[in-house]
Amino acid sequence: MKKIDFSKIIPYKELTMQWYEEHPRPSRFSREEALAMARDYGLEDEVMEAIDRFALTPDEALQEWDLYPFG
């Protein structure tokens, strides 16, 4: 049986973040526009964290907090 070298395995979160950084997705709103929309509801920090820490697009961050203006 082949031994697995666990020291070379990339953690799932790190691998996912790397993929998202290498494959940017188009977004209808810019980061600044999304933060301005979130500010109206007191969710600026939450949307900023979703964009910066979890690598969501501004559109995805607004959708995550139910702020995306569909329509």
The pLDDT assigned to 66 comes to 95
User: In whole angstroms, what is the distance from residue 48 CA to residue 52 CA?
Assistant: 6
* Residue 23 domain-assigned (yes or no): no
Domain count, the chain: 1
Domain of 51?
Answer: 28-71
* Residue 45 domain-assigned (yes or no): yes
The pLDDT assigned to 3 comes to 77
* Residue 34 domain-assigned (yes or no): yes
The pLDDT assigned to 25 comes to 72
* Residue 10 domain-assigned (yes or no): no
Which pairs from 60-63 meet CB under 8 Å and 24+ separation?
Answer: 60/25, 60/27, 61/34, 62/29, 62/34, 62/37, 62/38
pLDDT by residue for the chain (71 residues), tens only, comes to: 777 776 677 677 777 777 767 776 788 999 999 999 999 999 999 999 999 988 889 999 999 999 999 87
DSSP string, 4-54: P-GGGPPPHHHHHHHHHHHS----SS-HHHHHHHHHTTT-HHHHHHHHHTS
